[in-house]
Structure 1
Amino acid sequence: MSRASIVRPLAVLAAAFTIAACGGTESPPVSTKTPASSSAPATASPDVFTPVTARPLDLHPVAFPGTDGHFHLVYELELTNTKLAPATIDSVAIIDPSKPTQPIAQFAGQDLVSRLRTLMPAPADNAAIEANGSRFLYIELSFPDSASVPKEIAHRFTLHAASNPAGTTPDPMTYTIASLIISQRALPKLSPPLRGNHWVATNGCCNSEIVHRGSLSSVNGSEYDSQRFAIDWMLLGDDGQFVHGDPKVATNYADYGQDVLAVADGTVVSTINDLPDQVPGTLPNPASITMETVDGNGVVLDLGNGVYASYAHLQKGSVTVHPGDKVHVGQVLGKLGNSGNTSAPHLHVHLMDGPSPLGSNGVPYVIDKFELAGQVDPVAFAAAPGVEGVWARNLPANPPQRTDQFPLNLNIVNFR
């Protein structure tokens, strides 16, 4: 069974931060903020020609605390070369406008290319953008504490592109665009979606190679990354294995049939309850999957304050709630299964800013309390052809408790 295809088969190389020299003449930063009202005459910043534009998919990113003790900021930019000359991005520096000479991070060379995606999306081959072409740029930033998270960030592009509206050959340029105010809104605080020990946060946050990170959807006239903070929860048995016996039999997985719980009080928005389990081992025929069935049997909850929770891949006939029902935290919503676009039993959970599991933007959150029992080796997990085998040994009986944190990729956690 393909381990990388538990949900959607897109995986790319992880990227690291590098520092690269900038070339060309830098234009003044381009202001994207609306000036406050004032009795004084309005003044405008000088216009700057920007042949490659950058549009954030999430206008209000918020940093969140992970189990590594750091605060993480995750977002995407859509880059578009608006002119006839081909463009090549040499480097992108993320800056705090109040400290423009001290980049927070800088991507160049292969580190930059590994973060670029076509609109399909698929990994980009290089940092070039053809005339009238677009790319997505995936960005994940890490800060040692909340005080280190800037209030605003901007993006300094060093590139070769048309230097005037009629230009047909690329010239060196540097300019700063795509200013983002970092949201200070409170993070949703959830209770665990499952019970028991040794749940593994597979396909979790936070780097560009994670399959959920690549699950951008073109829905209802826009692009969305509803799954940027999704987790596929899988259960290790007491012997550290996900599956015992034939991996093509869904009931052989340690997590199959586990109760799925409401993470907060809420109202049921939608449910699906009549799709069969897939045979584990491979993803289903894409022709058999539709927008409605991609997540299999599931539940969408309205948690209030514009936040929704999506549960996917439940067992056929196990969903216990109906649209309009009020649910309370910890209530059983259904049972973990293997329906929809999946190749192994697991519970897919993500939060979003709208009721559509695909046509919404993903929202980060924290879980109120859990125990951090260990970590599956990410290198070994990425290299493995399937999920068979032993993934953890000698896990502690009384691991440390964590409160108000987001479980990161391949963390092993206990939900008491």
Structure 2
Amino acid sequence: MLHLPKAVRHLACAVLICLSAPAVAQQREPVLQSFDLQVPWRPQPINIDGKQQLIYELHLRSFAREVLTLKRLRIVDRTTGATLDDLQGAALQAVIGRPDLVTKDPQQLPPGSQAMIYLSLPFTLKEADTLSHIVDFDTADSAQLRHASIEGARIVVNQPTRPLLLGPPFRDGMWTAIYDASWPRGHRRVLYAVDGAVHIPGRFAIDWIKVDRKGRYVHGDADKAKDWLGYGADVLAVTDGVIASARDDMQENPSVLANARNKVPLEQASGNYVTIDLGDGRHVFYEHLKPGSVRVKPGDRVRRGQVIGQLGYTGESTGPHLHLHVADANSPLNAEGVPYAFEQFHVLGAYPSIDSFGKSEPWQISPDKDNNRQRATLPAPLAVVEFPAMP
């Protein structure tokens, strides 16, 4: 019989006990396939109606095998932990866009589908410069409803070295700033993927339409361009710069209403246009200009206040107006819209809704007549403004 040392016998017994004991499974949280979160365009603060905002888009794409239902979105300051915005229910649904057009319910994302969340946050640089996004969602996995949450798409807010301030685009008159971030087909929610990447060139675009004190934008027949108050108005260079591109060979439809129903190719959507290179990678676009009115060509140097063309309705246009925006490249579609502001303008009033404007109802006069001169900002949506006279 083999006699082992006592210490060795104890070690052997311990090994046998361990081998004979049932293995205890380590508890783990279930792992779920869900969303890819991206913020392709890093936002910069912008001033609108005298208030600083952060305007950008959160892209979501589902990689799950079942339908995911968005329930809540929180944007948090990673430095302090403070919540900058908390969206759920109707507030969340209102800011969701669905380029995939897969489901009627914008909060339900089937496998492979995608959504855009259009964010507009009251913001100051003192609050945060690094943001993160927390998405709560429901998933029905094997008929079992689960609630889950993910965090991602961290971004560092760009702090512009200097604000881009523009001068008046017109000499005189009362002009309505036509835009709104909530419109499904407004500039903010129109995406273009024409060269291997998706862009929103009109993120901060405004359509300018001239009105009178009674709220009318047409005197006469709305189907005739010459009867629109702004048609043929001189369009001015908003700052010094170099003409980067120009087009003046597109004709207008004899009928304004027929032109509004006319779907034009993407390359003609801007109509006749002028682009001014402002330097620092920024370009200002003037679109839908009157045929034969463009007075500049690529390479020309222009001065602030110089006439560069006249307001028209060429291209994809529902009526005579000036489309104006600033982007980071010399391309009407393949560029990102970037913030800008006007040096100054006078707020006369505003339309209560786009329906009110469309019906030519009187706009509401600003109640604060002594404090409605705005500086270094964009006007509020549907505001009626007057720019200072050019010398």
State the TM-score, normalizing by the size of structure 1.
Answer: 0.79
Matches of 2:377 and 2:102, distance apart in 1: 31
Give the drift of 1:270: 1.4
Equivalence for 2:108: 128
2:38 aligned partner, one-letter code: R
2:351 aligned partner, one-letter code: V
Equivalent position to 2:66, from 71, 85, 92: 85
8 Å contact from structure 1 (residues 138, 208) kept in 2: no
Equivalence for 2:16: none
1:61 corresponds to 2:43: yes
Equivalence for 2:251: 276
Give the drift of 1:339: 0.9
Cα deviation code 1:367-405 (max 9, x no counterpart): 112112211212xx3366x35343356999987422111
8 Å contact from structure 2 (residues 102, 113) kept in 1: no
1:98 corresponds to 2:71: no
8 Å contact from structure 1 (residues 87, 170) kept in 2: no
1:118 aligned partner, one-letter code: R
* Pair 1:407–1:347, CA change in 2 (3 A): same
Cα deviation code 1:14-42 (max 9, x no counterpart): xxxxxxxxxxxxx9xxxxxxxxxxxxxxx
Cα deviation code 1:99-132 (max 9, x no counterpart): 33x4211111232222222225799523111111
Matches of 1:398 and 1:313, distance apart in 2: 35
Secondary structure at the counterpart of residue 201 of structure 2:
coil
1:346 aligned partner, one-letter code: H
Give the drift of 1:161: 4.0
* Pair 1:75–1:245, CA change in 2 (3 A): same
Q: Which structure is richer in relative contact order (CA contacts within 8 A, separation 6 or more)?
A: 1
Cα deviation code 1:44-96 (max 9, x no counterpart): xxxx97620111131x21111222x3211111121000121221111111111
8 Å contact from structure 2 (residues 79, 128) kept in 1: no
Equivalence for 2:7: none
Unaligned runs of 5+ in 1: 1-26, 28-47
1:332 corresponds to 2:307: yes
Aligned pairs for 1:302-313 (under 5 A) are 302-313=277-288
Equivalence for 1:182: 157
Equivalence for 1:155: 133
1:193 aligned partner, one-letter code: P
8 Å contact from structure 1 (residues 114, 123) kept in 2: no
Equivalence for 1:408: 380
State the TM-score, normalizing by the size of structure 2.
Answer: 0.84
Matches of 2:154 and 2:320, distance apart in 1: 41
Matches of 1:282 and 1:200, distance apart in 2: 23
Secondary structure at the counterpart of residue 113 of structure 1:
helix
* Pair 1:194–1:123, CA change in 2 (3 A): farther
Matches of 2:87 and 2:58, distance apart in 1: 14
Matches of 1:282 and 1:375, distance apart in 2: 29
Give the drift of 1:281: 2.9
Equivalent position to 1:382, from 355, 363, 375: 355
Give the drift of 1:255: 0.7
8 Å contact from structure 2 (residues 176, 211) kept in 1: yes
Equivalent position to 2:35, from 52, 72, 95: 52
Matches of 2:381 and 2:269, distance apart in 1: 23
Larger Rg: 2
* Pair 1:129–1:398, CA change in 2 (3 A): same
Q: Percent identity?
A: 29
Give the drift of 1:263: 1.2
The structure carrying a bigger helix percent of its residues is 2
8 Å contact from structure 2 (residues 64, 112) kept in 1: yes
* Pair 1:394–1:106, CA change in 2 (3 A): closer
Secondary structure at the counterpart of residue 281 of structure 1:
helix
Matches of 1:296 and 1:334, distance apart in 2: 13
1:297 corresponds to 2:297: no
When structure 1 is superposed on structure 2, of 170-179 and 266-275 the one drifting more is 170-179
Matches of 2:383 and 2:323, distance apart in 1: 15
* Pair 1:240–1:88, CA change in 2 (3 A): closer
Unaligned runs of 5+ in 2: 1-28
8 Å contact from structure 1 (residues 85, 169) kept in 2: no
